[in-house]
Structure 1
Amino acid sequence: MNDTEREAVRGFIFQHTKGVAVRDDEDLLAAGHVNSLFAVQVVMWIERTFGTPIEGADLDFANIRSLTAIEAFVDRKRGIGQPA
């Protein structure tokens, strides 16, 4: 994931946390920033923004647990790094 894409992820999360900044490795679930409804929105946003089709096996909170996890997930789906 390039810097522009990384900033897009940060911006999307920032909008939905009502302006609360989160660290890249902060657990969005444990911190209460992500609930099940927002998790669905994140998944849909990833699909639209990065053209990354998400399949049933991908629907795991671990893939969207943090900004770092989202980045790694998108890279895996693109075939960068380890297989998804």
Structure 2
Amino acid sequence: MEEIMEKLLAYVTKSTNSKEIYSTDNIFEKGLVHSLFAMQLILYIEKEFDIELEDEELDFEKIKSVKDIAELVYSKM
């Protein structure tokens, strides 16, 4: 799961031009994710990890951090 988290952190950091993001940061509260980027992130995840995310899995109350997203991805592999 560590590799998944590293890839996700790198993608979010690069895509948001952030200097420092921790895996447990709430990426929505920090203002890093808006609706368009959320869709880009979902597409990246599905392509990079060869998984399909179902609508019910995309509850942004449950996947607030890179760690939460990595756990979801790991559970789908």
Normalising by structure 1, what TM-score?
0.80
Match of 1:72, SS state, is helix
Matches within 5 A, 1:16-55: 16-55=15-54
What are structure 1's unaligned runs of at least 5 residues?
79-84
Distance in 2 (alpha carbons) for counterparts of 1:4 and 1:76: 14
**1:63: how far off?**
4.9
- Runs ≥4 in structure 1, deviation > 2 angstroms? 3-6
State the superposition RMSD in angstroms.
1.5
Normalising by structure 2, what TM-score?
0.86
- Checking the alignment, whether the CA contact within 8 Å between 1:39 and 1:64 is kept in structure 2 is no
Percent identical: 29
Structure with the greater relative contact order (CA < 8 A, sep ≥ 6): 1 or 2?
2
- Between the two proteins, the alignment pairs up a number of residues equal to 77
